[in-house]
Chains A and B, each alone.
Chain A
Amino acid sequence: MRPSRGAPYLLSAPALAFFAFMVLLPLALTALLSFQRFSYESGVQPGFTSGAYATVLGDPWYWGIFARTGWVALLATAICVLVGVPEAYILSRMRAPWRSVFLLVILAPLLVSVVVRAFGWSLVLGPAGFVNQALEAVGIGAVRMLYTPVAVVVALVHVMLPFMVIPVWTSLQKLDPMVENAALSLGASRLTVLRRVVLPQVLPGVLSGGLIVFALSASAFAIPGLLGGRRLKMVATLIYDQYLQELNWPLGAAIALALLVVNLVILLGTQTLVESTWRKRMGA
């Protein structure tokens, strides 16, 4: 790498200026907005107050929405771990053409619009959908799934599973198959090899995947908006309502900022912590 002079600053100046104006400035303006006075009659007022935060923290209705968002995201994350980790392991043990074919099959839905995927799930889970047709055929009868947390969790798992498979897959690629073979030849059972050899090595991948899935699930908007309906509020749809229906921008800004802080803490803080403890424990 060449030493620094003017060149790198000159090269990065356009992107830096653009991002400062389009990311940092709007976020700062939003932080400011969350402290501004507001009345439903005349909108945003001059003068500052922490009223929006007091409203949110003092009202159990908001706490209910935060709690629901938390457990829905946690449930989606748990299912992604339980499905994504074994699936990544199975993929890594497949042979040549199938391995990349099925990796693409699992990951390709990432590139399809989330609105299309949510709509697809509303067809599958709807009152006359395929799951309900199957349930009626076996005599259980139709079950309401659309506009309940079930539909939201199922669709979230569908959208987030690739984010779980990718980091686990990446750490499995680094794993030396000879170590597994050595453990087997020394008399370890298949289960012991999985538990004592494979799992400890992919655990950092599982953790970073889980954190990404949780953070993305907690801030997901289109899935709860389309599959949760109006009654099943989550944090993202709550912010949307405050901005575009109630027009109470300071309150929306306060909740959005809280969501941003939670996301940054999870994704930056915890991840650095996890990585540094892991490096120490692995002795690298």
Chain B
Amino acid sequence: MRNGPFAIGFHALVVAFMMAPLVVVCLVAFTPADTLSVPWGQWSLRWFRAVFEHADLMSSFRNSLFVAGFAASGSVLFAVPAALAIARYDFPGRHALNGLLMSPLIVPHLVLGVAMLRLFALLGARGSTLWLTLAHVVVVTPYALRLMLAALAGSDPSIEQAARSLGAGRWTVFRRITLPLVLPGVTGGWLLGFINSFDEVTMSIFITSPRTVTLPVRMYMLATESIDPMMAAVSALIVALTAVVMLVLDRLYGLDRVLVGQQG
């Protein structure tokens, strides 16, 4: 069955709508002017240089890379054994466990943010990078868990049982059989966790201190004060970084599987 001309026209408008803000941001980033305008004919990298010379932005960028890297790794460490328990065993509380670990997709990040703020205030941990990273682990664990569960559902448990019956220990079975089988799920989960942690703004805005501000929070604060083409340049860099992560995710795991499964 084919789409008619009306359907194609509608589709073109939707695609234009989805792409418009991203394309405009990337074009404005190259403006030589001091105002937010699309460069016609004349291009300049001056606003990209301004980004790299902006000490606050660069320190926030480093904070974000650090937090996202450790948060993604932490989420994998929690999600891999939990996914093994949920996918391979039947035990009382299995659904409740799954629900709890998936809850950050349902609880608004704003509510998580104020809840973490209360906890950190009582612990005296406000402004700590460690606790900020742990909060990010909470937010990105559902993504790692979901991809792990999908990978485990796609691998045959009888292979593991065969290895067991041939005398391999539990740890050997995990290291030599299960882990290689689910490795695409693990790396896909790590990357998806990384990009989601790197983008997280709503929870982070409550629990960062001036020293630990992450890049999206810094951008939010800059955007509420004044907007100049430097904001467009940072945004273009983030779009480029996201595109790279998406390419790697696509190669490793299949981007359509990641995105269609991402529904929350």
Q: Is B one of A's binding partners?
A: yes
Hey, which bits of chain A sit against chain B, CB under 8 A? Answer: 1-4, 7-9, 11-12, 14-16, 18-20, 22-27, 29-30, 33, 83, 86-87, 90-91, 93-94, 100, 102-124, 126, 128, 130, 155, 158, 161-163, 166-167, 169-170, 177, 180, 212, 215-216, 219, 221-222, 225-226, 236, 239-240, 243-244, 249, 252-253, 256-257, 259-260, 263-264, 267-268
Query: In angstroms, how far is the closest chain A Cβ from the Cβ of B247?
Result: 11
A-B contact pairs, 28 of them (CB 8 A): A1-B89, A4-B90, A11-B81, A14-B81, A15-B79, A18-B138, A19-B100, A19-B141, A29-B122, A33-B118, A90-B8, A100-B256, A111-B246, A112-B239, A113-B216, A113-B238, A119-B227, A119-B231, A126-B36, A163-B264, A170-B263, A216-B108, A222-B201, A225-B220, A236-B202, A239-B110, A243-B117, A260-B107
Known: A12-B97, A169-B260, A222-B220. A106 touches B14 (CB 8 A): yes
User: Across the two chains, which residue of chain B brings its CB closest to A268?
Assistant: B106
The 7 closest A-B pairs by CB, nearest first: A120-B21, A4-B91, A26-B115, A219-B108, A8-B89, A8-B85, A11-B85
B82 interface neighbour in A12, A112, A236, Cβ under 8 Å: A12
Query: In angstroms, how far is the closest chain A Cβ from the Cβ of B13?
Result: 9
Hey, which bits of chain B sit against chain A, CB under 8 A? Answer: 1-3, 7-8, 10-11, 14-15, 17-22, 24-25, 28, 35-38, 77-79, 81-82, 84-86, 88-92, 94, 97, 100-101, 103-104, 106-112, 114-119, 122, 134-135, 137-138, 141, 195-196, 198-199, 201-202, 205-206, 216, 219-220, 223-224, 227, 231-232, 235, 238-239, 242, 245-246, 255-256, 259-260, 262-264
Would you call A115 and B111 a contact (CB within 8 A)?
A: no
Would you call A124 and B138 a contact (CB within 8 A)?
A: no
Q: Contacts of B14 on A, CB cut-off 8 Å? A: 83, 87, 106, 161
Would you call B15 and A102 a contact (CB within 8 A)?
A: yes
A259 interface neighbour in B18, B94, B111, Cβ under 8 Å: B111
A239 to B219, CA, bound (A): 20
Would you call A256 and B111 a contact (CB within 8 A)?
A: yes
Query: In angstroms, how far is the closest chain A Cβ from the Cβ of B48?
Result: 15
Would you call A111 and B245 a contact (CB within 8 A)?
A: yes
8 more A-B residue pairs beyond the given contacts A126-B36, A225-B224, with a C-beta to C-beta distance below 8 A: A12-B86, A22-B137, A26-B115, A27-B107, A29-B118, A107-B256, A120-B20, A240-B206
B37 interface neighbour in A15, A100, A128, A155, Cβ under 8 Å: A128
Query: In angstroms, how far is the closest chain B Cβ from the Cβ of A229?
Result: 9
Q: With contacts defined as CB atoms under 8 Å apart, how many contacts are there between chain A and chain B in the complex? A: 276
Would you call B224 and A116 a contact (CB within 8 A)?
A: no
Would you call B7 and A90 a contact (CB within 8 A)?
A: yes
Would you call A121 and B21 a contact (CB within 8 A)?
A: yes
Query: In angstroms, how far is the closest chain B Cβ from the Cβ of A96?
Result: 13
A15 to B246, CA, bound (A): 27
Known: A112-B242, A253-B114. A263 touches B90 (CB 8 A): no
